[in-house]
Amino acid sequence: MSEDRVTITPLTDGPLEVTGPVTITASDGSTLETTDRTWLCRCGASAKKPYCDGSHKKAGFISTVEG
């Protein structure tokens, strides 16, 4: 895999795993984080949005991943 490639992988019943050189930017344009790996909420229940805090387990979030 190329070092400059960003990959977004939806995890079954969980968050989006983002790997590669990414910058997470807030709606006001400020940088929240520059990283090579992070997990983003997709259930809507996280108290740390846009990041996953594991709330999907308690919320009963269910998804399927086709691959």
List, for residues 7-46, the tens digit of each pLDDT value: 999 999 999 999 999 999 999 999 999 999 999 999 999 9
25: Cβ contacts below 8 Å, ≥ 6 apart:
31, 32
Q: Quick check: is 20 in a domain?
A: yes
C-alpha torsion sign, points 53, 45, 22, 12? positive
What pLDDT does 2 receive?
Answer: 55
- The number of C-alpha atoms within 13 Å of 15 and in the hemisphere containing its C-beta is 18
Domain enclosing residue 37, as ranges:
7-59
The domain that contains 49 carries what CATH number? 3.40.5
Q: Quick check: is 64 in a domain?
A: no
Give the CA distances from residue 51 to residues 3, 25, 44, 67, in Å, rounded to whole numbers and listed in that order.
Answer: 23, 12, 10, 24
**Structural domains counted in the chain:** 1
What pLDDT does 67 receive?
Answer: 67
Q: Quick check: is 23 in a domain?
A: yes
